[in-house]
Amino acid sequence: MPLPLYVPKETKEHEKRVALVPSVAAKLQKLGLEITMESGAGKAARIPDSAYTDAGVSLGSVEGAKLIFRVQPPSLEDIAQMPEGAVLCSFIYAQREPAVVKALQERNITCFAMELIPRITRAQAMDALSSQAALAGYYAALLAATQLNRILPMMTTAVGSLRPARILVMGAGVAGLQALATAKRLGAMIEGYDVRPEVKEQVQSVGGKFVDTGVNAVGEGGYARELTDEEKQQVEAVLTRHVQQADAVITTASIPGKPSPKILTEAQIMGMKDGAVIIDMAAEGGGNTPLTKPGETIEVGPVSIIAPLNITSHLAEHASELYSRNLLALVTLMVQDGELKLDWEDEVLAKSVLTHEGEIRNDAAREAVENQSEGAL
């Protein structure tokens, strides 16, 4: 008997992505899944119902589903409608959404949180954080290009040449490297900074100059160590010089489910060039600057701070496609011959499971739920 999969329409405001695209539906069917979608689930991503029905997908409700795909965390109402014991694959961000975790636990839902997929080689195809971050980095570079009151590349004209814009990207993870690469393709002079000196070669590989503060922050076991006061002053002095020489600064420092670290100071911002822009990619967690207003574009002193929310939703077609592929790769670990078989010896499943059989399996999520319960007393 085929395994019933249900994909609902996303309900969070401004969310345009969908957890399944037609091209991936055919591959899931080969695994033995019978797919039902809520009518209109792909509409915001410009994928009509007919594209799904042509791929053999039925339109209907969540009733009877054994497996559910989502992009954003479900609402409490969504969870109440899920069949008890179903398996949910979705972003959850448990530390921000303890009430959702508690509801999943009480509904006996086995939930795999996509943000918990471990960063190991065999899980790369399942790493939805990285696939979405790459698109967000691309979009951030385009935002910088369109928000500046100047062009990015050097341009030679009959009346002389225009110099290229200088873009500094702070944080050389997946999003940062893609922002650097895109800005480079648009003709900007690019610089990248990260507290991890080992990413220097990655910044250079996309044509960027690595901002070297002269301080190695790597401590025992490869983790970042606490800097001395003298080292902190040295790092800030070097960064301030590069920040204030930049036409645009793109900040990418975010921690899934936690507040974003502040990596630019108000003093650094106030010393930037007139007309400079900051693209704050960490607005979901409050932003990387003390002046950021998530979801807004503001002018502060000499600069504009642009802090978009849910950046990848602006690229819904390709974001949905990549996310669907991530889910397909994950499901291949848990479906055999059309049946759900969860192998808890598998590192990917063991580390990404949030709730199972009425238990919260993730320590940070459990702590968040307990803290919420204590706060309610």
Residues noted as catalytic: 119, 124, 127, 130, 223
Tokens of 270: 């106030």
3-state secondary structure of 177: helix
User: What does the alpha-carbon distance between residue 90 and residue 111 come to, in Å, rounded to a whole number?
Assistant: 8
Residue 118 DSSP one-character state = -
Dmax over CA atoms of the chain, in Å, equals: 73
- Phi, psi for residue 212 in degrees, rounded to 5: -100, 115
Strand partners, 353: 112
User: What does the alpha-carbon distance between residue 178 and residue 202 come to, in Å, rounded to a whole number?
Assistant: 11
For residues 242 and 193, is the Cβ–Cβ distance under 8 A? yes
**Nearest alpha-carbon partner for 43 in 85, 7, 79:** 7
Measured N-to-C along each axis, helices 363-376 and 98-106 cross at an angle, to the nearest 10 degrees, of 100
